[in-house]
Amino acid sequence: MTDLLPGLAGQAEAFWAKVKRTEGCWEYGNGANYGRFRGMSAHRAAWIMANGPIPEGLHVCHHCDNPPCVRPDHLFLGTRTDNMQDASRKGRLKAPEMFTLNEAAELLGLAPSTLRHQTRNGKFDAFKMGREWFVTGAEVQRYRREHLRKDSAA
């Protein structure tokens, strides 16, 4: 578990004093982007104060998609992949090339063998795979060429 709770002990009053509460989101600081509090993102600090430590490997995500929001019931824990998929479902991914295929493959638990298998079975569609893996089709094709070249050289 992330051991940030002791660093926030006794800081709740100072933190919540900087929060503008409305019926919707509660925005920290000036309401521009992710606020910072005691060396961490304000929404992470809010989660820790409301719920306790953040388990290792998890991120604090926003149901409301509002970066300065620190309202505890607008926050949830998830992996980076969960957050990417949430953003995709909501149409918030700004560009499909946010990640290299190596990063996406690692995040989604994919292996070069997936590409080999789909290629050999005639199911290879780089652009469909790119959409599923949050990368461009060109990135999938580049990755495929590199790994198939390595496989044939071995």
Q: Distance (Å, rounded) from C-alpha 134 to C-alpha 83?
A: 12
Q: Distance (Å, rounded) from C-alpha 31 to C-alpha 91?
A: 22
Least Cα distance to 72 among 48, 41, 39 occurs for 48
DSSP 3-state of 152:
helix
Cβ(48)–Cβ(8) under 8 Å?
A: yes
Q: pLDDT tier at 143 (50, 70, 90 boundaries)?
A: confident
- pTM exceeds 0.75, yes or no: no
Q: pLDDT tier at 115 (50, 70, 90 boundaries)?
A: low
Asked if pLDDT for residue 117 goes beyond 80, the answer is no
Tell me what the pLDDT averaged over the chain comes to.
77
| Domain-wise residue ranges, the chain | 5-78, 96-153
- Give me the pLDDT at residue 55, please: 94
- Give me the pLDDT at residue 108, please: 56
> Who's near 3: CB < 8 A, 6+ residues apart?
53
